[in-house]
């Protein structure tokens, strides 16, 4: 779906150091007259919120601080696996893949277990399983650097290459499972970029959105295991992922994705004392200060009336604007009679400024528009 942000100046949110205000940036574009003076109070050492569909930052507090990432590292682990291993490949668990179950999240894997990469990815992203991370890194590293003694080191090198490839500028990964080690750091902004790429992968997006998932393990102890997602926000209908992380050095971390209209908003919280309380504060602040308006009949009643005459917008984009400008948004319809195809234009405007313009088309009785008009 097309998404528009009402912008006088659109900031490149993925670029480190770019902010819209000193210290705590309100990166969503707004008129110079609009001043949002209150700020969300959270316990996190760093936080960042971005509408990845519109491509605009909405909140930033120390988004470029390099902090321990804990298991949010596994987002990059999963993206790297997707570049080197096929989902239906098989992996046999070895002794070196196991983790201390009293310390690290795990899927209860045992030596000799045989799993498909798809199920190991599910364990990695849903249960935050360290044993799945080590198994995937070992096999992935063997694929990357045939014959090398330290396959996991080769995989970690590939993780950092993948991070650079997708635009992470400040993060460094040392392990595939995110455990606390010197030199392993990530920024909130970088993790938002990583989440955007993960959500663009249908398999990974499906996994991180699952409240629970069943994996199948073959081998001497063949069994099926149901894994619960560590992301408690998935209880809400508008949440679609992404990844939690917790460690002594990192504190509580969370990368979350929520829907607003047709848009996806990503929140990153690092070094929190209560990540879910912080997420609730940030989401409440967003919904107080921004509006997501979708070009459909539920938002604009005039379009519901046109729908009864089988006239609809060719696209149903969402715009995000500061809440205090939302009452100024007006729907403007230009109609030119035609039996079929394009019959006019619908615009959203503030004053004389067009926020967007979309063709109006006449559809058939089944709601189908002419093929030449489809996006």
**Which domains occur in the chain, in start order?**
70-290 (3.40.710.10), 295-373 (2.60.410)
Residue with tokens 């705590």: 24
**CA–CA distance, 142 with 112 (Å, rounded to integer):** 18
Q: What is the pLDDT of residue 365?
A: 52
Q: What is the pLDDT of residue 148?
A: 77
Cβ atoms of residues 331 and 337 within 8 Å: no
Instruction: Determine the distance from the C-alpha atom of residue 225 to the mean position of all C-alpha atoms in its chain, rounded to a whole number.
Output: 26
Cβ atoms of residues 343 and 336 within 8 Å: yes
User: pTM for the full model?
Assistant: 0.88
Summarised one tens digit per residue, pLDDT across range 280-300 is: 999 999 999 999 999 999 999
Q: Which two tokens stand for residue 173?
A: 């990964």
CB-count exposure of residue 141 (10 Å: 0-12, 13-18, 19+): buried
**CA–CA distance, 44 with 62 (Å, rounded to integer):** 10
Summarised one tens digit per residue, pLDDT across range 194-234 is: 999 999 999 999 999 999 999 999 999 999 999 999 999 99
**CA–CA distance, 225 with 67 (Å, rounded to integer):** 33
Summarised one tens digit per residue, pLDDT across range 108-118 is: 999 999 999 99
Q: Are strands 318-322 and 3-5 parallel, antiparallel or unpaired?
A: parallel
Q: What is the pLDDT of residue 368?
A: 61
Q: What is the pLDDT of residue 308?
A: 92
**Which of the residues in the chain have pLDDT under 70?**
1-12, 15, 17-37, 339, 365-375
**CA–CA distance, 241 with 234 (Å, rounded to integer):** 7
């Amino acid at each position: 779906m097309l998404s528009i942000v009402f912008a006088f100046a659109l900031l490149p949110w993925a670029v480190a150091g770019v902010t819209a205000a000193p210290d705590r940036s309100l990166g969503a574009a707004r008129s110079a007259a609009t001043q949002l003076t209150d700020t969300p109070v959270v316990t996190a050492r760093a936080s960042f919120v971005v509408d990845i569909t519109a491509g605009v930052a909405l909140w930033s507090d120390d988004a470029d601080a390099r902090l321990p990432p804990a298991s949010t590292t596994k987002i990059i682990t999963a993206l790297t696996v997707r570049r080197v291993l096929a989902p239906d490949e098989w992996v046999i668990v070895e002794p070196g893949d196991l983790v201390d179950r009293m310390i690290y999240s795990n899927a209860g894997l045992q030596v000799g277990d045989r799993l498909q990469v798809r199920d190991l990815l599910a364990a990695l992203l849903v249960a935050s399983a360290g044993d799945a991370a080590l198994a995937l890194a070992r096999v992935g590293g063997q694929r990357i650097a045939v014959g090398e003694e330290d396959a996991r080191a080769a995989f970690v090198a590939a993780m950092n290459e993948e991070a650079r490839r997708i635009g992470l500028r400040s993060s460094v990964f040392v392990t595939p499972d995110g455990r606390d080690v010197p030199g392993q750091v990530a920024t909130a902004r970088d993790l938002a970029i990583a989440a955007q790429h993960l959500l663009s992968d249908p398999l990974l997006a499906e996994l991180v959105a699952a409240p629970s998932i069943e994996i199948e393990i073959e081998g001497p102890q063949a069994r099926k295991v149901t894994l619960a997602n560590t992301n408690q926000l998935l209880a809400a209908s508008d949440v679609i992922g992404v990844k939690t992380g917790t460690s002594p050095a990192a504190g509580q971390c969370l990368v979350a994705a929520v829907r607003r209209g047709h848009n996806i908003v990503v929140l990153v919280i690092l070094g929190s004392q209560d990540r879910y309380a912080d997420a609730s504060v940030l989401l409440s602040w967003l919904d107080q200060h921004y509006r997501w308006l979708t070009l459909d009949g539920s938002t604009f009643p005039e379009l519901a009336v046109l729908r009864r005459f089988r006239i609809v917008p060719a696209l149903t984009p969402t715009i995000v604007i500061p809440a205090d400008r939302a009452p100024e948004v007006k729907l403007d319809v230009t109609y030119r009679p035609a039996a079929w195809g394009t019959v006019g234009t619908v615009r959203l405007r503030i004053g004389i400024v067009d926020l967007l313009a979309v063709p109006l088309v006449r559809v058939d009785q089944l709601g189908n528009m002419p093929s030449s008009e489809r996006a």
